[in-house]
Each structure stands twice: as structure tokens, then as C-alpha cells.
Structure 1
Amino acid sequence: MSAGTMNDFTDGVFKRNPVFVQVLGMCPVLAVTNTAINSLAMGLATAGVLLASSAVVSLIRRIVPSEVRIVTFILIIATFVTMVDYLIQAISLELHRTLGAFIALIVVNCLILGRAEAFASKHPVQRSILDAAGMGVGFTVGLLCLGSVREILGAGTWFGIPLLGQSFETWTIMMLPPGGFFTLAGWLLLFQFLKQRKAASREATA
């Protein structure tokens, strides 16, 4: 496998991370990341839809008329979202209720339609799958980073496992919608600091 195709994967995880670099799909990022399990479930659901839809879009890219391209992409994405919705419902009704309408809203996630239009519709299947896998992993990692911080500080647990003991005073705000904004801002600040520090280190050694 060439370095170019491997970059299709690694760029989505690191250089063009959907959450921390491109800041895409903010609706589920802020809404369902109050616990690590919700974050992981939504991340995997989105990644699965992204991977499957990108593969199908790449396969049919030469036979879809340009006039109905976007409509076709949305129909493909909606089909896989419905399948994922039923799968989550079959696995855990409680998780399905917790994620609620945000599963259906995967259809309009700009990350998925954007990769279908910008990449999968222009590249062969192998590269499209690697790109989708990288973006999916990057999105899942981003959600899990937010969900882990919010659950640890907001409930003193991680994936439901007690970490900080009964004496820990939980930060209730981290389990509420404002907690999502605060946590996202903290992560963005951290990555920006690391980016600037790396740039300064390069300049110093140049």
C-alpha cells in the first residue's frame, strides 16, 4: 500500500480530524458526549455509515448523473442510517433511547455528505474506504475525548466504572449542554497550544 493511500487514513485521524481540526458534526459532538458510552456508540454509528456510504458512492460514481448526484448520496446515506438505527435498537433499547433523534440526524451530518461529495465521488473504492475509515476513527476519537472528560468530571465515572470515589464533588455542569462547549473549548485550546509549540520548536531548530 503506497504512502499516498495511507495518508488518506492518517490525515483523517490527525491532520484533518473532523472534531478538533475541521470542527464538523458539532450537533452530536455537543449533544451526546455527556458519557463515554454514548460518545463511543455515536462515533461508531457515524463511522459505520460513513464507511459504507463512501464505498457505495465510489462504486457508482461513474453511473450517477450529475443532476441527481446529491440526492443519490443522501438516499444512500439515509439507507445505512436506517440500518444502523435498527441495529442499535436491537442491541440496546436503553442506548437507543439515550441517543434518540441524533441517530437519525446522522443523515444530515456534514462530515458524511462532505466526504461523499469531496472524496468518494472522485476516487476509487480503496482510497474512499481508507479516507472514510480515517475520518470515522478521527470522529470517534474526538467524541470519546469529550465524553470521557465530561463523564469523569460530571459523574466521577468512566464507562460507568467509578474512578474518583464517593468523596469527589461532581461538576454537574459537565453533564449539561454547556459542559459540551466548555470541554470542546478546552480540547481545542490544548491542541492549538501543542500546534504552536511544535511550530516554535521547528523554527528554533531551523
Structure 2
Amino acid sequence: MSTIDERSTNWPRIARDGVWDNNVVMAQSLALCPLLAVTGTATNGLGLGLASTFVMVASGLLVSVLRGSITPQVRIPVFVLIIATLVTLVDLGMNAWMHDLHKVLGLFIPLIVTNCAILGRAESFASRQAPLPAVFDGLMMGVGFTLVLVALGAVREALGSGTLFANASMLLGQSLSWLEVTLITDYRGFLLMILPPGGFIAMGFLLAGKRMLDRRLAARREAKAAGVPASA
């Protein structure tokens, strides 16, 4: 498999692809099941996002390092085995050290194995790149996925419960319990936003917002290329 020269790697492009242009959720529409299921709070979204990011980074590194030893005929089963091993380690680690959060996320931690974005990046990027670009790509893809999880969780939690980062101490420790904010005291809650239908609604607004912003940015680039003032 061919590789690229790390000195010529377009690092800003990799970062922009992972966080924005080729975002796992906003552009590829992958991992929607866990996204909508666990983002009842921003804390849950952050926990799943960090776990997924670790798997993306570690799988990218291992696939890149082992790419010369993996024959094309068995590459997909080997990639799945690598990802499944890493997810098992994450699952056991969270069960041991973050048991309360592990109980909340439940089945969706093992289901990281089925996240097509992780296998897709292993196949399309890590298996063709040197280790450092592969790790950076996994990190940026994970960061982009985590940002969407946290944003969606924050919106649903704020509207549904009137809080933000509830029970953050389960994930981040007591030292960062100050992140737990009550936005509206004596708030009775908006049940729809906590339920899956609320996740679909909030996700629709996020997607619409991204597409509107993309169109505006594209129009500005076209106007700039044509020499037209930005305000026109």
C-alpha cells in the first residue's frame, strides 16, 4: 500500500475534514443511533465522544503501523479485530473506573465497534498513510464527532432539563464538578427534548445550521475570487 511523505502532509486540511467538511455526523451521517440515544445530556455525549476518539486514534495508529503486514484479502477482518479489541479495553476500563457513566452509556460503548466511521477511516486513510498522519486524522475525526455529541447533548439537556453537564463529576471527577450548571431553577422540563424524537428535531436544526453556514462561506469565497466586495 502506498504512503505519503509526512513533510508534505496537509495538516490543516486533515483537521478541517475531521472537524467540519467530512464530519462523521454532519457530513457523513454516520453513528446516528448512539448519537441520538445517549445525548440526553452533554456529559453522556462527552463520555461517548472521548471513548470513540480514543478508539479512532489507537486504531489509526495500529492499522498504519501494521499496514505492510496485512494482506489485502484479510484487511477488513483484521481492521475489525483491531477495533473490537480497543473497544473491549475501553469498555472494561470505563466499567472499572467510571462505573456510573458506564451504566448510563450501557450497550452503546460496545457498539462503537459498529461505527462505520472508524472502519472507514482505517480502510480509506490509515491503511494508506504513515503513523503520524493516521493518528492526527483519527484525532480530528474523534474531535469532530465529540463536538457534535456535546453540542446536541447540551441543547437537549438545556431545553429538556434546564441543566448543563449534569453529573459531570462521574466522568471528569469531583474537581470539575463546577461544570454542573443549573440554567433554570425549578424547571419542570420539556420531556420531548430528552426523548429520541427530540434528538431528531435538534439534529435537524444542527444540520440545517451547518448547511446554511457552508453556503454563506462558499458564497463569500466565490465573491472574493470574483473580486466582488463581501457585503455585496
Instruction: Give me the TM-score of the superposition, normalised by structure 2.
Output: 0.84
> Quick check: 1:6–1:130 contact (8 Å CA) kept in 2?
no
- Structure 1's unaligned 5+ residue stretches are none
> Quick check: 2:31–2:115 contact (8 Å CA) kept in 1?
yes
Match of 1:64 in 2: 70
2:183 counterpart of 1:163: yes
Match of 1:186 in 2: 205
**Post-superposition offset of 1:25:** 1.0
Match of 1:200 in 2: 219
> Quick check: 1:9–1:132 contact (8 Å CA) kept in 2?
no
Deviations 1:47-67 (A, max 9, x none): 001100110000000111111
Separation in structure 1 between the aligned mates of residue 92 and residue 164 of structure 2, nearest angstrom: 26
Match of 2:51 in 1: 45
Give the one of 120, 129, 140 matched to 2:135: 129
Instruction: Give me the TM-score of the superposition, normalised by structure 1.
Output: 0.94
Q: 1:99 to 1:202 in 2, by over 3 A?
A: same
- Structure 2's unaligned 5+ residue stretches are 1-6, 167-180, 227-232
**Post-superposition offset of 1:2:** 5.4
Q: What letter corresponds to residue 162 of structure 1 in structure 2?
A: T
**Post-superposition offset of 1:204:** 4.3
2:48 counterpart of 1:31: no
Q: What letter corresponds to residue 130 of structure 1 in structure 2?
A: F
Separation in structure 1 between the aligned mates of residue 218 and residue 122 of structure 2, nearest angstrom: 32
Match of 2:85 in 1: 79
Deviates more, 1:196-205 or 1:110-119: 196-205
Runs of 4+ more than 4 Å apart: none
Q: What letter corresponds to residue 188 of structure 1 in structure 2?
A: L
Match of 1:103 in 2: 109
2:111 counterpart of 1:92: no
Separation in structure 2 between the aligned mates of residue 103 and residue 203 of structure 1, nearest angstrom: 43
Separation in structure 2 between the aligned mates of residue 97 and residue 141 of structure 1, nearest angstrom: 22
Separation in structure 1 between the aligned mates of residue 135 and residue 219 of structure 2, nearest angstrom: 35
Deviations 1:101-131 (A, max 9, x none): 1100001100100000010011110110111
- Could you say what the CA RMSD is over the residues aligned between the two structures, in angstroms? 1.4
Match of 2:3 in 1: none
Q: Comparing both chains, which one has the higher relative contact order based on Cα–Cα distances under 8 Å and sequence gaps of 6 or more?
A: 1
